[in-house]
Amino acid sequence: MNLALFDFDGTITFGDTFTPFIHFAVSRPRVVAGALLLSPMIAGYELGLVSTTRMRAAIVRVALSGRRAHEIAELGRCYARALPGLVRPEALARIRWHQDSGDEVVVVSASLDAYLHAWCSDLGVGLICSALEANAGILTGKYAGADCSGPEKARRVLAEYDLSRYSNVYAYGDTPEDKELLGLAHRRFYRWQELT
């Protein structure tokens, strides 16, 4: 049996799903207030001075802290229903090819469990991703664990899967945040081109 590891945003989808989910799940006044509050950090991000990991964590803190976890989970399920329109046909075909070959397929993403859980469950694939922390049913605005990007992707895969059990490991990514994930694989695909 083989293992196939797929990044989500930009690899399976045509682009970012994190930011549209925030706009979907958060009221317009809170989005505007959050954008004003985070404007210095956003400017730093645009200039390359603030990492994507720090930017995502700040957005989660401002946008989702204090929200009821079950409400965000339900919004995530609704949002997941709209994701098929964002999925690359070649990505879905590749996932199906792996499944038809009897391979284990896992999405490994920095995007949120709130919507990825439903999408992956519907498709019958595993999931490793950034998860929202809750306390007594209320979101804290933090992650339960680390942002699942860069080295954290590889660390989480190695914590959950014994790679020696698989004949081949495939990995698919599209940004430098996927470098360590691709490094786990025998066969690596970057922006749908196989690396030698």
Q: How far is CA 67 from CA 20, 81, 118, 134, 137, in A?
A: 18, 21, 19, 9, 9
Residue 54 has pLDDT above 90, yes or no: yes
Task: Tally Cβ neighbours within 10 Å of residue 64.
Answer: 23
Residue 196 has pLDDT above 90, yes or no: no
Instruction: List residues bridging with 107 in a β-sheet.
Output: 6, 127
What's the pLDDT band for 159 if we cut at 50, 70, 90? very high
| Averaged confidence pLDDT in the chain | 96
Sheet holding 193-195, edge to edge: 126-130, 104-112, 3-6, 169-173, 187-190, 193-195
Cα gap 190→187, rounded to integer Å: 10
| Predicted local confidence at residue 186, as pLDDT | 97
pTM of the predicted model as reported, rounded to 2 decimal places: 0.94
Instruction: Dump pLDDT digits (tens) for 144-155.
Output: 999 999 999 999
Domains, the chain: 3-195 (3.40.50.1000)
